Amino acid sequence: MSSYPTDFKYTKDHEWVRMQDGEATVGITDFAQRQLGDIVFLELPAVGQQVKQGDVLGQIESVKAVSELFAPVSGEVTATNAALVTHPEGINTAPHDSWMVRIRASAPAEAGALLDAAAYASLVK
Amino acid sequence: MVEFGGWDMPVEYSGISDEHVAVRTRAGLFDVSHMGEIEIAGNDALALVQWLTSNDASRLAVGQIQYSALTTPAGTFVDDVLVYRMADEHYMLVVNAGNIGKDHDWIRAQAAERGGDTAVVNASARYALIAAQGPQAETVLQSLTAIDLPGIKYYWFAHGEVAGVRATVSRTGYTGEDGFEIFTPPAQADRVWQALLEAGRTVDLKPCGLGARDTLRLEAAMRLCGSDMDEQTTVLEAGLGWIVGWKKQDFLGAARLREQKMNGVERRLAPFEMRDRAIARHGYNVIRDHEQVGVVTSGTQTPFLKKAIGFAMVPVSMAVVGEPLMIDVRGKLVAAEVVPEPFYKRPGRT
């Protein structure tokens, strides 16, 4: 049984978001990593890129499938996790500690409208 | 669970990598009951099998098995099969799940056209099939059977009991590892499966799903019919000249295959390894000078070798070891290189 941190927000596409001082830290949920299975490649956007909510941010590839990472909020990409690109298997072992992208949110209200932990947990139940 | 050839099958149990490595280093257990069994018996059984398949079935002793192709008149694949010689004039073809109906219809039509004394029976519902694969598979299975397993050579089989259940046990598999495939009556298959899981505890045997079955077979460079080759691919284009019985008199597709052997093929399945960090998957295009010249038929990241590998159907001029390939991976051109096969060969294979 997975537990979803209550200080995160979640998307229906299975990203988690942690908002801090107007910056969104983004990863994928435990449910998502279990669906994907063994993750072998991670492709992330360039720092400085402007993204809109719902844009494709990158690709997460497991042995069995490729899936896309979507921007949960609009804004500018301020950082990507290069260590995770080198060792993407970390996403399988600690999905909620494996951040992928940071975005300086241009419309912070977007984050407020995302799912909370309870709503997300019931979505993937 | 996914739908596969009309069956609900697990893609993975503990994870594709975990299962894959278990088979390479210890043992894994696969429920492959979806595979079909078509039996051909009667005074003219050998003649019919010889006509239908590319390999030379006359070389089989009773108790022996060969890999072969069920061919069209164009020398292409109706299916790839294992031919078991059960008795003098009694053969069993183990066929792919998705092709059972097609193969059975094809064989019956050919049998009717040729006449002769043969009965063709789709026996698929009479067999469950469990594969125990890996270096420890023999030890695990031996603890449940009186059959002398070391006495069964590669691609031979024997009859007996496993966990008290009537079974036919062959030293075969689709993993590139040592191991066995166990045919049992479906009603008792669960008992055999549970007994193997239990006996496998000492070696940490893992139940394995379709995902690991695919990564294991690809690492061993074993073809998947329907993916790597189909009714448009000749046996030679699939790189399987070794399953053609060239000394046989006549068989379906013989003329085409002999012509291709003489004049060469125009395209051929090439094993490749990625040079850039990416996986080239089934259906991705091989590009040369901005033009599509080939297509990836299988591709994955292999959990044991930890490389991205695959097969591509390419012009024969490109199907040479060392040849660089550019593959369109979702809009980006990435580099691969043709390599020798198999990608993985098990140590100390006899």
Counting Cα atoms < 13 Å in the Cβ hemisphere of A58 gives 23
Chain B CB contacts of A61 below 8 Å: 279, 301
Residue of A nearest to B301 (CA): A63
pLDDT of residue B338: 98
Of B17, B278, B330, the CB nearest to A38: B17
Counting one residue from A and one from B, how many pairs have CB atoms under 8 Å apart?
Answer: 35
Give the best residue of A33, A35, A38, A67 to mutate against chain B (max B CB count within 10 A): A38
Which of the following CATH numbers is that of domain A13-123: 3.20.20.20, 2.40.50.100, 2.60.120.10, 3.80.30.10? Answer: 2.40.50.100
Are B192 and B182 spatial neighbours (Cβ–Cβ below 8 Å)? yes
Lowest mean pLDDT among A32-41, B1-10, B93-102, B282-291: B1-10
**Secondary-structure breakdown of chain B: helix, strand, coil percentages, each rounded to the nearest 5:** 25, 35, 40
pLDDT of residue A108: 84
Region B58-73: what's the mean pLDDT?
Answer: 98
Output the six-digit token pair for B276. 């850039």
Q: Is the pLDDT of residue B263 over 80?
A: yes
Output the six-digit token pair for B191. 């008992």
pLDDT of residue B242: 97
pLDDT of residue B2: 79
**Whole-angstrom distance, CA of residue A75 vs CA of residue A68:** 18
**Whole-angstrom distance, CA of residue B111 vs CA of residue B103:** 12
pLDDT of residue B220: 97
As for the ipTM of the complex, it is: 0.78
Output the six-digit token pair for B92. 């069993």
How close A125 gets to chain B, by Cα (Å)? 17
| Bridge partner list, B206 | B28
pLDDT of residue B109: 98
Output the six-digit token pair for B318. 């490109």
Q: Which has more pLDDT, B199 or A3?
A: B199
Strand B206-208 with B28-31, pairing:
parallel
Encode pLDDT of B84-123 as tens digits.
999 999 999 999 999 999 999 999 999 999 989 999 999 9
Cβ within 8 Å, pair B277-A38 = no
Are B89 and B39 spatial neighbours (Cβ–Cβ below 8 Å)? no
pLDDT of residue B3: 83
Q: Is the pLDDT of residue B350 over 60?
A: no
How close A64 gets to chain B, by Cα (Å)? 7
Q: Show Cβ contacts of residue B322 under 8 Å, excluding neighbours closer than 6 positions.
A: B337, B338
pLDDT of residue B349: 54
Strand B28-31 with B90-95, pairing:
unpaired
Are B26 and B135 spatial neighbours (Cβ–Cβ below 8 Å)? yes
pLDDT of residue B1: 73
Cβ within 8 Å, pair A37-B330 = no
| Bridge partner list, B182 | B130, B169
**Whole-angstrom distance, CA of residue A9 vs CA of residue A15:** 8
Strand A23-28 with B119-122, pairing:
unpaired
10 Å Cβ neighbour count for B311? 26
pLDDT of residue B199: 98
Chain B CB contacts of A92 below 8 Å: 15
Tell whether the torsion through CA atoms of B45, B48, B50 and B53 is positive or negative. Answer: negative
**Whole-angstrom distance, CA of residue B255 vs CA of residue B260:** 9
Are A68 and A49 spatial neighbours (Cβ–Cβ below 8 Å)? no
B73: left (phi over 0), alpha (psi -120 to 50) or beta: alpha
CA angle B97, B103, B107 (to 5 degrees): 150
Output the six-digit token pair for B6. 């009309």
Domains and CATH numbers, chain B: 2-33+127-219 (3.30.1360.120), 36-125 (3.30.70.1400), 266-338 (2.40.30.110)
How close B213 gets to chain A, by Cα (Å)? 12
Mean pLDDT across chain B: 96
Cβ within 8 Å, pair A41-B281 = no
Region B139-143: what's the mean pLDDT?
Answer: 98
| Bridge partner list, B292 | B287
Is the minimum CB–CB distance between B240 and chain A shorter than 8 Å?
Answer: no
Q: Which helix (H) or strand (E) holds A106?
A: none
Of B278, B300, B330, the CB nearest to A63: B300
How close B19 gets to chain A, by Cα (Å)? 11
Are A95 and A18 spatial neighbours (Cβ–Cβ below 8 Å)? no
**Whole-angstrom distance, CA of residue B98 vs CA of residue B114:** 26
10 Å Cβ neighbour count for A94? 11
User: Could you tell me which residues of chain A have a Cβ less than 8 Å from any Cβ in chain B?
Assistant: 37-38, 40-41, 59, 61, 63-64, 66, 92
Give the best residue of A39, A40, A42, A59 to mutate against chain B (max B CB count within 10 A): A40
Of all residues in chain A, the percent with pLDDT exceeding 70 is 98
Instruction: List the beta strands (DSSP E) in B155-222.
Output: 157-162, 165-170, 179-184, 206-208
Encode pLDDT of A8-65 as tens digits.
999 999 999 999 999 999 999 999 999 999 999 999 999 999 999 999 999 999 998 8
Angle between helices B210-219 and B16-25 (to 10 degrees): 50
Q: Which has more pLDDT, B99 or A125?
A: B99
Output the six-digit token pair for B277. 């960090």
Cβ within 8 Å, pair B16-A66 = no
Determine whether B113 is exposed, middle or buried from the number of CB atoms within 10 Å of its CB (0-12, 13-18, 19+): exposed
How close A69 gets to chain B, by Cα (Å)? 15
pTM over 0.95: no
